[in-house]
Chains A and B, each alone.
Chain A
C-alpha cells in the first residue's frame, strides 16, 4: 500500500475494485464499513455483491475482465469535464496527451457497453473520486490474478495520478495483501528480478524501465561484496515458468519453502506432471500438502508461533511474531534449516546465535544493512512500539528518532523517478479463455471468510470446519435452472484441463453464467480446472476466469445432498 490502514478510514472517498476486504481482510473490511457509515463515500466495482456491498454508495457490477474499460470511462468523464488535477499533472507526470489519446475513445457510454455498468454510475463514480479532497483506491486479487494484471494496475495508477490522489493522507494506491508477509516477500526479494529492497540488478532491464545501467551494476556489486560471492546478472524465472521448465527438463531441482504450488497454482494436472519430472524436490512445510506428496525429501518446519521473527503487513508495518509454544516435534524454524544447509555446503555461518531470538535478530541486522527501506528496523524499536502503532512502517532510516514509527504514506514529496509517465491502456479481450458452446460458464476462484489459501491451516480448525466443511460452487437461480441444479446438489465443474467437485449454493449475489468457487478445500482442488494463461509482464496466472461447464453429480441423494442447516451461510470473497 502506498498509504496506511488509517488512510482507508479517513479518506473522503474509497474506490474498491476487485477486492472483498469483508471476507479476505475482515478487519480492514470492518474499518471500511465503519467509514462508510460515518460519511465516507464508498464506491465499489465488483461483479459480485460482496460482503460490504450493502455499505456501498455506488456498486458497479462490471462484466468480468472489463476493469480497464471501466476506469478509462471514469477518466474520460473526468477529463471531459476538466476535473483532473492540473497542478499535480504538471508537477509530477508526463504523457498526459498520450493518455488522452487512449482514454478519449472510452466515453461513459462506450465504457457502459463494454462493462455492462450504466453510464450514469460511471459518471457519478468518476465525479466523486475526482472531486474528493482525499480519495483512496484499494484492490485485491480480482485485479492481480488476471492475464492483464499489470495493465489494469497501471490504469488504476493513471486514475490516481490524473486526480492527484496520491502522496497525501487518505489517498493512494492500496493493494491489500493476502498473507501476513506477502509484502515482506517482495521486500526480501523472493523474486527473480531484484535483490532485497527492490534493488534491480540487470542492466538491460533497468535501462528498459528508464533507469541508469550503472544503478544495476552498483546494486549487484553491493550484494556481491556483502555476501562475498559473484552474482549472475541475468534475471531468473518465475514460479509458473519454473514449473514448465521442470516439465521440459530444464529445471531439475526445486525447493518449496512454505509453498504448495500443486494445490495453489492453476492447471493442477499439468503441475503434477511437471513436478514429477524433477530429480530433486525438497518440500519444507508444516503438513503433508499436495506438493509434499511429490517430494523426494520433506523437512518439517516450525510455525510462526514457535519462533521469533518479523512479518510486514499490507501497510508496510514490520511486526513481531513470538514463540508462543516450543517447536512441535523435531520441527525447526525455516531460517535455522537454511543456515544448517549453508554450513553443510562448507560456508561460514555468521548468523546463528546463542538462541532463537539472537539468530532472528542477527538476520534482521543483515537485512537492515542491505535493504534501505529497513535501515532503521530493529527488534528493539518494534518492541518499544507496543501500543496502537505496534511495529514500524518502512521506509525508516537508520538514524530515525527513537519514537519514530516510520512512514505512514509514500510519495509525499513526489516520485523517485521524477515525473512519471501516464501509460494509457486499451481494453482488449475481456478473458484469456472466453466461454464456448461446450464450456459456456465462466469460473471465478475466490477466497471465503472461513478458510485460507490451500486450507492446510484452516481446515484443521474444528470451528472453521463446522462453519464451512467443504468447497462450494456459487451460482445464481437462472444458472441453476439452465443446468437443472438445486441448492445443496453435488456437482462438478469441468474445463478442458480437468474437473473439480463441490456443493452447489444458489445466491442472488452473482450474475448469470458465472460460477464462483473457493480454492481452500483439498476435496475440491479447483485448480485442476483453472487455466495457466499468464500476464506477459508479471507472469501472474489468470486464476480469476476460465471457461467451464457445470455437471450435476447424481447418485444417492442422502450423501449427495447436504442438509441446508449443515452449512452455515458463508461469505465468499472475490479477491
Chain B
C-alpha cells in the first residue's frame, strides 16, 4: 500500500492522485481557488502550494502528483508566507465589496484574506461587466482569471459558452460569451470561487442571513440534489446544486430558476367549493371553505355515489410529481376505502 506523509500524518494514497486529493481524502484542508475537483487541475492561482521534502520550490498541490514515501507540509511558515503574498497580489486587483445586490457573498478569496490576515480595503469599484444578460452577469473587477467558468462550460456543460478573449495576463483581459450557446444553467456561477459570476437576484438577500436545506429537485427524473436557500422572511431565494451528489454539482435551468412557483401569489391556500354549475365555457365560481367542511362534503358525496353506483364509479388519478408517501396513500384510499382498482397516474402524458 502506497503511503505519504502530510503534516506528520501518514496518508494512504493511490497512484495518479495529486497531493491535494490525498490531503482532502485524509481530511487535511488546503486552500484552493482555481482548482475544482471535477475539472483538470488549474495550477495557476498558487493558493494550494505546499512544501515537498527535498525540493526547494513550493509546488501547487492540485497539479503535483503524490508519490510513495513523499513528505509534505501544507502549512509551514514558508508556505504560509507564500500563500499570504499570493492573496495580497490577488487582492490588489480584486473589488472586495459585496455591496452589489447580486453578490452571493461567498468569495473564497475574501475568506482566505481574513484567514491569512490580509487587510481588505474598504473600496467599492463600479462593476465592469463581461457578461450581462437577463439572467447572469460577470464582473471583471472581481475576476481572478482562474478559468474555472471556461472549463465548466467546456468540460461539464459542453456548451462552450464562455471563452477567454485575451490572455489572462493582458491588461484588456475579457471573455467572449456565446449567448446562443448558453442554456442558462448557471453551472459556471456555482463553480466561480470569487463571486465574479452572479445570478441577477429576483429577491435580494444577504449571504449571512440565509439558511440552506438540501432536497431533491422538483422537476425531471434525474433526481438532482439541490440546496435551497431561505432568507429570514422565509422566502426561497436561491437554488444551488449539491456538489457531492449524483448531479456532480450541476443543475439545469429549471432546477436553478424554477422554484418561484412554491411561493407564488397564485398558490391555492384554502379549500374551495364550487357555487355554480359546470359546462363547456362556463366560468367557475367558488367560495372558500374550511378543511372540515370541504372534506366532510367530499366524504358524504363519495358515500352517496358508492351506495348508488358501486366502487367502480370512481376514478383516482395521482401524479409522478408527488412523494411515494402521497402516491401510496392515494392508491390505498382508492383500494381500501372505496374498493376499486381504478387508479392511475398522469405521468403517461
CA distance in complex: A201, B340 (Å): 13
Q: CB-CB < 8 A to B298: which residues of A?
A: 280, 282, 297, 341
The answer to the question of A344 belonging to the interface, with a C-beta cut-off of 8 Å to chain B, is: yes
Asked whether, in the complex, the Cβ of B315 is within 8 Å of the Cβ of A300, the reply is no
The answer on a CB contact under 8 Å between A460 and B266 is yes
Q: Is A421 an interface residue (CB 8 A)?
A: no
Give the one of A276, A329, A338 with max B CB within 10 A. A338
B223 and A257 form a contact (CB under 8 A)? no
Bitwise, A322-363 to B at CB < 8 A (1) or not (0) is 111110111111110111111011010001000000011001
| B261-A457 in contact (CB<8A) | yes
Q: A256-B317, A462-B202 are in contact. Are A264 and B323 (CB under 8 A)?
A: no
Chain A residues contacting B284 (CB-CB under 8 Å) are 293-295
| A103 interface residue per 8 A CB criterion | no
With both chains docked as a complex, state the minimum distance between the C-beta of A532 and any C-beta of chain B, in angstroms: 11
Q: How far is the CB of B339 from chain A (nearest CB, A)?
A: 6
Residues of A close to B156: CB separation below 8 A: 30, 34
B336 adjacent to A227 (CB under 8 Å):
yes
- A287 pairs with B267, CB closer than 8 A: yes
Chain B residue, CB-CB nearest to A34 = B158
Contacts of B28 in A (CB 8 A): none
What are some 12 contacts across the A-B interface (CB < 8 A)?
A25-B221, A227-B336, A231-B339, A238-B344, A304-B323, A313-B216, A314-B221, A314-B223, A322-B214, A449-B253, A453-B321, A460-B266
Interface status of B123 (Cβ within 8 A of chain A): no
A515-547 CB mask vs B (1 if < 8 Å, else 0) is: 000000000000000000000001111010000
Chain A residues 370-399 with CB under 8 Å of chain B are: 386-391
Instruction: Name the residue of chain B whose CB is nearest to the CB of A28.
Output: B222
| Chain A residue at minimum C-beta to C-beta distance from B346 | A259
Q: What is the chain A residue whose CB lies nearest that of B251?
A: A27
A80 CB-CB contact with B under 8 Å: no
Pairwise interchain contact B280-A178, C-beta atoms closer than 8 A: no
Residues of chain B within 8 A (CB-CB) of A456 are: 261
* Chain A count of residues within 8 A CB distance of the other chain: 161
- A178's contact among B184, B221, B273, by CB below 8 Å, is which? B221
Distance of A180 Cα from B323 Cα, bound (Å): 9
Given contacts A296-B278, A329-B269, 7 further A-B contacts (CB under 8 A): A26-B220, A254-B315, A297-B289, A314-B221, A317-B223, A334-B323, A541-B349
Interface digits, A170-190 against B, CB 8 Å rule (1 contact, 0 not)?
A: 000000111111111111111
Q: Counting CB contacts under 8 A, is A79 at the interface?
A: no
Q: Is the CB of B217 within 8 A of A458?
A: no
**B124 lies within 8 A of chain A by Cβ:** no
Residues of A within 8 A of B327 (CB): 181, 184-185, 188, 190
Q: Is residue A239 contacting chain B, with contact meaning CB distance below 8 A?
A: yes
Instruction: Select A320's contact among B216, B255, B259, B321, beta carbons within 8 Å.
Output: B216
Check if B168 is an interface residue, CB within 8 A of chain A: no
Q: Which of B17-25, B88-96, B105-113, B299-307 contacts A (4 or more CB under 8 A)?
A: B299-307
- Report how far A178 CA is from B345 CA in the complex, Å: 13
Question: B204: CB under 8 A from chain A?
Answer: no
- Whether A176 contacts B221 in the complex (CB less than 8 A), given A242-B315, A309-B324, comes out as yes
Stretch at the interface among A120-128, A161-169, A245-253: A245-253
Majority SS of interface residues in chain B?
A: mixed
Interface assignment of B312: CB less than 8 Å from any CB of chain A: yes
B56 within 8 A of A: no
- Least Cβ distance of B47 to chain A in Å? 25
A110 within 8 Å of B (CB atoms): no
B295 and A344 within 8 A (CB): yes
Q: How far is the CA of A309 from the CA of B218 in the complex (A)?
A: 12
A37–B324 touching, CB < 8 Å: no
Whether A340 pairs with B323 at a CB distance below 8 angstroms is no
Residues of chain B lying within 8 A (CB to CB) of residue A298: 268, 271-272, 286
Q: Is A364 an interface residue (CB 8 A)?
A: yes
What residues of B have a CB within 8 angstroms of the CB of A338 in the complex? 326, 329-330, 332-333
Partner pick for A180 among B216, B301, B329, B343, CB 8 A cutoff: B216
Check B318 against A246 for contact (C-beta < 8 Å): no
Most B CB within 10 A of own CB, among A253, A294, A458, A538: A253
**Is B157 part of the binding interface, using a Cβ–Cβ cutoff of 8 Å?**
yes
CA distance A434 to B272 in the complex (A): 44
Flag whether A367 is at the interface (Cβ < 8 A). yes
B348 within 8 A of A: yes
Beta-carbon contact of B213 and A458 below 8 Å: no
Task: From the candidates B222, B248, B274, B279, name the one contacting A25 in the complex (CB within 8 A).
Answer: B222
Task: Give the distance in Å from the alpha carbon of A364 to the alpha carbon of B327 in the complex.
Answer: 11
Q: Which residue of B lies closest to A370 (CB)?
A: B328
Verify A236–B234 contact, CB threshold 8 A: no
Q: What's the least CB distance linking B116 to chain A, in Å?
A: 30
Do A191 and B343 touch across chains, with their CB atoms under 8 A apart?
yes
Known: A181-B323, A287-B268. A464 touches B314 (CB 8 A): no
**Which residues of chain A come closer than 8 Å to B170, judged between CB atoms?**
none
Q: Is the CB of B222 within 8 A of A27?
A: yes
Contact in complex: B325, A310 (CB < 8 Å) = yes
Q: Does any Cβ of A come within 8 Å of B244's Cβ?
A: yes
Q: Please provide the 4 A-B residue pairs with the shortest distance between their CB atoms, ordered closest to farther.
A: A329-B269, A177-B221, A313-B223, A309-B323
Q: Mark A66-100, 1 if CB is under 8 A from B, else 0.
A: 00000000000000000000000000000000000
Q: Say yes or no: A324-B343 contact (C-beta < 8 A), given A181-B323, A250-B313.
A: no
Contact of B331 among A181, A188, A292, A366 (CB under 8 A): A188
Which of these, A191, A323, A337, A463, contacts B257 with CB under 8 Å?
A: A463
Taking a contact as CB atoms under 8 Å apart, the answer to whether B299 and A37 are in contact is no
The residue on B at minimum CB distance from A184 is B324
Indicate which residue in A231, A279, A305 contacts B259 across the interface (CB closer than 8 Å): A305
Residues in A with CB closer than 8 Å to B207 are none
A458 touches B258 (CB 8 A): yes
**Residues of chain A from 455 to 483 with CB closer than 8 A to chain B in the complex:** 456-458, 460-464, 466-467
- A312 interface residue (CB < 8 Å to B): yes
* Cβ of A319 under 8 Å from chain B: yes
The reply to whether B220 and A179 contact each other, CB–CB distance below 8 Å, is yes
Q: Does B230 contact A (CB under 8 A)?
A: yes
B153-190 CB mask vs A (1 if < 8 Å, else 0) is 00111100000000000000000000010011100000
Contact yes or no, A569 B180, CB < 8 A? yes
Q: Does B320 contact A (CB under 8 A)?
A: yes
List A contacts of B135 (CB < 8 A).
463, 466-467
Do B262 and A306 have beta carbons less than 8 Å apart?
A: yes
Interface flag for B143 (CB, 8 Å): no
Asked if A180 and B221 make an inter-chain contact with CB atoms under 8 angstroms apart, the answer reads: yes
For chain A residues 125-150, which have a beta carbon within 8 Å of chain B? 144-145
**A329 nearest in chain B by CB position:** B269
Decide if A334 touches B270 in the complex (CB within 8 Å).
no
CB-CB under 8 A for A182 and B344, given A460-B266, A463-B257? no
Q: How far is B284's CA from A272's CA once the two chains are assembled, in angstroms?
A: 13
Question: Does the CB pair A330–B270 fall under 8 Å?
Answer: yes
Question: Which of B262, B266, B268, B343 lies in contact with A325, CB distance below 8 A?
Answer: B262
Q: Which chain A residues lie closer than 8 Å to B180 at the CB level?
A: 569
Q: Is B57 an interface residue (CB 8 A)?
A: no
Beta-carbon contact of B269 and A461 below 8 Å:
no
A299 within 8 A of B: yes
- A44 interfacial by beta-carbon distance below 8 Å: no
Is B234 touching A326 in the complex (CB atoms < 8 A)?
Answer: yes
Given contacts A177-B320, A457-B218, contact A288 B257 (CB under 8 A): no
Closest B residue to A304 by beta carbon equals B218
Decide yes or no whether B335 CB sits under 8 A from chain A: yes
Nearest CB of A to B344, in Å: 4
Closest Cβ–Cβ distance, residue A91 to chain B (whole Å): 32
Q: Nearest-CB distance from B69 to chain A (Å)?
A: 30
Report the bound CA distance from A449 to B157 in whole Å. Answer: 14
Nearest-neighbor residue (CB-CB) of A575 within chain B:
B220
